[in-house]
Structure 1
Amino acid sequence: MRYALLGLVSSTVLAATPARAAEEIFFLIGPFKIPLRVSSLETFAKDGKIEKDLALFLGRATPEQQAVFRKVLTEPAKVDPVLLSRFFYSGIGEAGLTRLGRGITLDGGINGKFGLRAAIVQAAFEPQGLTLLNVFKKFPTNIEFQGAVILGAAEVAEKLIRATEVLTNEMKQLSAKEAASAPPIDFAKLPDLRKPGTFGVQPKQVWILNDSSRNRQFYVDVYKPQKFRSGKTPVVVFSHGFASRPEDFSVGAEHLASYGYVVVLPQHPGSDKIWINEFRQGLHRNTFDVNDFTNRPKDISYTIDELGRRNQSEFQGLLNLESVGVAGHSFGGYTAAAIAGAEIDFENLKKECNKEFGGLNISNLLECRALELPSTTQTKFRDRRVSAIFVANPIGSATFGRLGLSKIQIPILIAGGNYDPAAPFVLEQARVFSWLNVTEKYLVLIEGQAHVDFSKLDPGILQAIESVDKVSLPSPYLIRSYSDSLLTAFFETYIGNRPDYKSYLQASYSAFLSQGEEFKVFLISAASADNLAKAFEDFRKFNNL
């Protein structure tokens, strides 16, 4: 059913002037309740005059700081008000508002979720646009800023930043220690895995698959080598992330295909770029279909089934479908973990989603939607044909938990970045690594890597990020060279029947790749897992995290 009409009606209602608007903002700090009139903010924004109540907050601010605050109050955010309304009525949007509403409340400390939604959407429809001042003016009651909650969240956020710095340094030291204890290897004399292989790559093919058992149709991008290996051909299935698409990972797929692999990238229709575009048009209520927690791993299995059906006719029976590799990014990392044996743990998910400051792990906004699934939902998706997984910036720590992830018993490489705000390295990759019981496990940290490829963002966003003082970003080509080489080394070792490539899966190779680079890559193996876990646990104890 289309939601365009509903969105239009809702927007019209929300745009109406409220019967009562916020007159005062109260800052609750301990036993104190400090008032600030909204009209004082309005006067200051208009002509710079500081009323008596505002002087309590701005009395010691420099003229430059005051000018910045005036700009913050009045500068409009560039948003589509209709799209904004749709987002805040989606599952993820409501969850975000609920978390925000714990610190910004209605009179009496009532969660400000609904007031925030009304105020933000109404402000977005104003001629002046969505400004902070307009949000205050449109709030339906007086506003209370809960100091304990806000300061608590800020304190936890600061601790997470420090924890990331501590674990980055720990990864650096552990990787150096592993490299020093291993026999020396001259990687300059070995094949350079950053470069394409020798098998060539055919033009991409696109298959349309139809799983009638689930009434689900999706396309698959297929990359084949120009010439095939002798013997069996290794296969890797790649699962894209939320709001993404198979085409976004064509470079990595082509790189692996050039080493003699058949690489297939299935679309996940309920959580891909097409779905999010349809959401923007008002065709869906939510940013993704909650059933994709179960559909995604089934898409992987069905894709492998299809390869089996086509093996003789299109590949002369050369495909090795008894030992398949799966790679995934973000939500695709969840997908790969599920197909590798990780089991959904609803009890753990409830606990994580109810944590006071759980919203600081942005991936929880996505993961917590799994609680909408019925209690009878399938929680096990292990496909025995899958023999190794490579996951980049994966989410799933809340959905699977320690118990669910302990069920993975195949080789796994987890890669993350210390600039990732969506799936923080500390809360996702590093924590998950310590929970895995498998001995063939590797953890990779790429300095400066974020959740997305910044080169694919709007140029204005990239410019804004780079304009921040002391913030620089690594070249996307550098990050790609790290990921392509490790992707190749991992799957050659565990899927390609090339055990000699295991020499690349050690800390000394990450040091070799990092030579002369400002942003480095660090790799550790299972041998360092306990030390990394101890470093994080010590930080938690000493910092009450």
Structure 2
Amino acid sequence: MGTTPTLAGGATLAADRLDVRLDGLSLPVDLNQLDAWSRDPKGSHSELGVWFELLNERSRNDLRSLLRAPLLPDRALAKQLLQSWTGRQLLEEVGELFAGGQPGSGVVLLTTLRELLQRPEPIRFVELLLAVPTPSLTLDLDGLLQLADLWRRQLEDQSLALRRLRDLPLRPREISDTRARLAAIQPTPRPTTLSLTVAHRAAPLELELWPTVTEREGAWVLLMPGLGGSSAQLSWLAQGLAARGWPVLVIEHPGSNERAVRQMLDGQRPPPGAETLPDRLADVEAVLAAERQGQIPRLGDSVVLMGHSMGGLSSLLSSGLRPVPGLAQRCERDLEVIPLINISRLLQCQLQEVPLPEPVREGSRTVAAVVSLNGFGSLLWPGHGLEQLKAPLLIVGGGLDLVTPPVSEQLGLFLQHPDLRSRLVMVEGGSHFSAVRIKEQDQALWRLGDGLVGMEPVRVQNLLLSLTSDFLTSLDGSIPMAPQRRSREGITAYVLDGRSARRWRSHISR
């Protein structure tokens, strides 16, 4: 089981008792007895073993499996998680539950786990508790139950918000497959790969260009995948927009793309996070400058900055926005509990440690619009932070999104933006991953179930394509996109302007 941590002077200090706190009561559990029972339930004659015999056989076996199973089976991946900012924040918060909320207790548990990972033998739950350098630990089940209750209430609030959304007086619009059939008759755009040498990266930046079949004057689209995403995952959107007349250039961001995630899973690097944003923003500026100067094909007289998740955040930052001062104070208040259904807030709070470049001066390029698919930024731009955005904005969210929930992450941002052409789209049954298309031979993501992935992604994507292209088309004319309830292939999306979005918020707060 390894050695016990040693203090200065040779004295040993380790936990031998776990106080389980529940409903105001504290039940002491001898960790050594717990460890002995988990190894040999039949041979354990302690009082603890007698209590466990009162459990039904299935519960008893489940408990023993939990205690004996390796806590972190993939040692290399575990080490990389401990090196990441997000991983440390989560583990420190969990650690607080094992010390009754004592300040710094999460750091102690994290340090102990890091030390145990240096040993060759597997780490099991009881062995971790036994190794913590403190006489006793407190498992705050009251805190766990409060956390579970908070999660339940957040899910209920999100469900209520969607019911209120259905009650809005929006004009229904049913979309048939006629447009898709007409598009299929047209020549299919074919992508070309471009390499762009950039000063901030050792290797050239890989770009995927989807040209239009016919010449068209106007805006072009710069498309950015989310954290851990790739150009292939958004090719459905790039191809569809190119077929409808908008040239699309997709950036593959090294260090925060699909390859970086595979390296993380292999234990070769920490999980990518907000620290990759400066390079992402530099990628965008290099591509815009190259297009403007003719280093790559000229694509139009203005650009639509479009992205999924962190790509949507990159789009907002590349438009010239920067976080409103006071992020550290907002994060200190917001991260008092683990953000179970809004993981994006961990990334937002990491930005307080990330030096972002100064925004590019206005006049160096024309931004026709910003499109953020499953985007976020509630902690970065509270109040009126998005008033500085000088271009129309399309924000798209999903009713089943537990990573960037629509009410807390998209509705508030949208209501800050005064442009009458801006629109908020909520897709019923859409999730954070609805915009991601995975190759047929790699469908593991979709096997996670509708609760995480949402409705069948291809059907959601067909609706997203028609909504996005209609929004871009509306910018060329004088009539903004009409608020509506749009349905296609059994998927419904709600298109809101400022007035209907404010009505939705007032219905939620009743």
Fold match (TM-score > 0.5): yes
Conserved? CA contact 1:275–1:287, under 8 Å: yes
> Are 1:372 and 2:353 counterparts?
yes
* Residue 228 (structure 1) aligned with residue 214 (structure 2): yes
- Determine which of 166, 170, 174 is the counterpart of 1:178: 170
Residues 48 and 91 of structure 1: CA distance in aligned 2, closer, same or farther (over 3 Å): same
> Which of 69, 80, 100 does residue 74 from structure 2 map onto?
80
Counterparts of 1:265-304 in structure 2, within 5 Å, are 265-277=250-262, 287-288=272-273, 290=275, 292-304=276-288
1:115-136 deviation per Cα after TM superposition (whole angstroms, max 9, x unaligned): 2453377379665x45434433
Alpha-carbon offset, residue 305 of structure 1: 2.0
Counting only pairs closer than 5 Å after superposition, residues 327-476 of structure 1 correspond to structure 2 as 327-355=306-334, 356-357=336-337, 359-360=339-340, 361-373=342-354, 378=358, 384-452=365-433, 453=436, 455=438, 462-463=446-447, 465-466=448-449, 473-476=454-457
Secondary structure at 2:430's aligned position in 1?
Answer: coil
Counterpart of 1:255 in structure 2 is: 240
Question: How big is each residue's C-alpha offset from its partner over 1:297-343, in whole Å with a ceiling of 9 and x where there is no partner?
Answer: 343233122122228x845xxx322x321111111111111233433
1:201-224: per-residue Cα shift (whole Å, max 9, x none)?
A: 123222223146x88852221111
Structure 1: how far apart are the matches of 2:70 and 2:28?
Answer: 25
* Structure 2 counterpart of 1:333, one-letter code: G
> What amino acid does structure 2 have at the position aligned with 1:42?
D
Q: CA separation of 1:137/1:308 partners in 2, compared to 1, >3 Å: closer, same or farther?
A: same
Distance 1:71 1:280, change over 3 A: closer
Larger helix proportion, structure 1 or 2?
1
> 1:145 & 1:409 partners in 2: Cα distance?
51
Contact 1:245 1:272 in 2 (8 A): yes
Match of 1:38 among 31, 35, 44: 31
Match of 1:513 in 2: 488
Partners of 1:209 and 1:219 within 8 A in 2: no
Q: CA–CA distance in 2 between the matches of 1:434 and 1:399?
A: 15
TM-score normalised per structure 1: 0.78
2:509 pairs, out of 522, 533, 537, with 537
CA distance in 2: counterparts of 1:275 and 1:347, whole angstroms:
31
Q: Mean alpha-carbon deviation: is it higher for 256-265 or for 452-461?
A: 452-461
Cα distance change of structure 1 residues 396 and 189 upon mapping to structure 2, 3 Å threshold: closer
* 1:357, distance to aligned residue in structure 2 (A): 1.9
Q: Is contact 2:307–2:313 with CA below 8 Å preserved after alignment?
A: yes
Q: State the Cα deviation string for residues 48-103 of structure 1 (Å, max 9, x = none).
A: 569645777x6875443333333333344674212211221222222222222332
8 Å contact kept, 2:400–2:430: yes
TM-score w.r.t. structure 2 length? 0.83
Shift of 1:472: 8.3
Q: Is the 8 A contact 1:199 1:260 kept in 2?
A: no
Residue of 280, 291, 294 corresponding to 1:310: 294
After TM superposition, give the deviation of residue 370 of structure 1 in Å. Answer: 1.4
Q: Does 1:524 align with 2:504?
A: no
With over 3 angstroms needed to count, the CA separation of the structure-2 counterparts of 1:493 and 1:328, relative to structure 1, is same
Aligned partner letter, 2:253 = H
Query: Residue 18 of structure 2 aligns to a residue in which SS?
Result: strand
Q: Counterpart amino acid of 1:255?
A: G
Contact kept in structure 1, 2:274 and 2:350, CA below 8 Å: no
Which amino acid counterpart does residue 304 of structure 1 have in structure 2? L
The residue type paired with residue 488 of structure 2 is L
Q: For residues 431-452 of structure 1, give each alpha carbon's deviation from its aligned partner in whole angstroms, at most 9, with x where no partner exists.
A: 3223333322222222343323
Alpha-carbon spacing, 1:284–1:354, altered in 2? closer, same or farther (3 Å): farther
Distance (whole Å) between structure 2 residues aligned to residue 210 and residue 537 of structure 1? 48
Alignment gaps of 5+ in structure 1: 1-13, 539-545
- Residues 381, 79 of structure 1: CA spacing in aligned structure 2 closer, same or farther, 3 A cutoff? farther
Stretch deviating more after TM superposition (399-408 or 452-461): 452-461
CA distance in 2, matches of 1:391, 1:237: 12
User: 1:228 corresponds to which letter in structure 2?
Assistant: T
Structure 1 match to 2:129: 136
**SS across alignment from 1:222:** strand
Question: Shift of residue 364 of structure 1?
Answer: 1.9
The answer on whether the counterparts of 2:81 and 2:271 sit within 8 Å (CA) in structure 1 is yes
Q: Tell me, in whole angstroms, the C-alpha distance in 1 between the residues paired with 2:182 and 2:160.
A: 29
Distance 1:447 1:60 in 2: 46
Residue matched to 2:10:
none
* 1:324 aligns with one of 300, 303, 308: 303
Q: Does the CA-based 8 Å contact 2:274-2:354 persist in structure 1?
A: no
> How many percent identity over aligned positions?
19
- Supply the distance in 2 between the matched residues of 1:120 and 1:525 (Cα, whole angstroms): 50
C-alpha contact (below 8 Å) 1:344/1:380 kept by paired residues: no
Cα RMSD of the aligned pairs, angstroms, is 3.8
Find the aligned partners of 2:319 and 2:18 in 1 and give their Cα distance: 51
Please give the alpha-carbon distance, in whole angstroms, between the structure 1 residues aligned to 2:187 and 2:438: 28
Contact 2:423–2:496 under 8 Å retained in 1: yes
SS in 2 for 1:36: strand
Structure 1 residue 244 corresponds to structure 2 residue 229 = yes
Separation in structure 1 between the aligned mates of residue 504 and residue 2 of structure 2, nearest angstrom: 52
Structure 1 residues 455 and 280: alpha-carbon distance in aligned structure 2, compared to 1, 3 A threshold = closer
Question: Which of 79, 82, 85 does residue 91 from structure 1 map onto?
Answer: 85
1:3 alignment counterpart = none
2:442 and 2:126 map into 1 onto residues whose CA distance is 27
User: 5+ residue gaps in structure 2?
Assistant: 7-12
Secondary structure of 1:205's match? strand
The answer to whether the 8 Å contact 2:95/2:106 transfers is yes
Q: CA deviation at 1:270?
A: 4.3
The question of whether the paired residues in 2 share the 8 Å contact of 1:123 and 1:130 is answered with: yes
